[in-house]
Amino acid sequence: MAKRLFVGSLSYSTTQSQLEDLFSQVGKIASLNLIIDKFSGRSKGFAFVEFATDGEADEAIKKFNNFELDGRKLVVNEARPQEDRPNRQNGRGNFQRSKSW
């Protein structure tokens, strides 16, 4: 499996198809996941992209980090693993486990 890239500083109006068009310029996209707010239905301003090879992922970082899209300079780098989040209190004295998306 190739590197997973984090793409941040996206405009809230950026669409999945815009990202697919952009990142397909450097190689075959294995997966692309634009993170959407479940209440508003719009982008949260970041996405994850995975390419078929590490070389394509490295090329995408070089080409698209600081690239301007929809008036915003993108941040593109290798994604880090999600860190465990501590339990949180729900306001009634009960603790609930943080959801992992």
Task: Give residue 49's pLDDT band: very low, low, confident or very high (50, 70, 90).
Answer: very high
Task: Give domain limits for the chain.
Answer: 4-79
53 in Cβ contact with 27 (< 8 Å): yes
Give φ, ψ of 57 to 5 degrees.
Answer: -65, -45
pLDDT the model gives residue 2:
79
Provide mean pLDDT across the span 26-43.
95
Q: Tell me the mean pLDDT in the region 36-62.
A: 95
Provide CB contacts within 8 A for 45, sequence distance 6+: 8, 9, 10, 11, 12, 35
pLDDT at 81: 86
- Where does the chain have alpha helices with state H? 16-23, 54-64
In terms of DSSP bridges, do strands 4-8 and 43-51 run parallel, antiparallel, or are they unpaired? antiparallel
Under 8 Å between Cβ of 23 and 40: no
- Residue 41 clears pLDDT 70, i.e. is over it: yes
Query: Quick check: 65 pLDDT over 60?
Result: yes
Q: What is the CATH number of domain 4-79?
A: 3.30.70.330
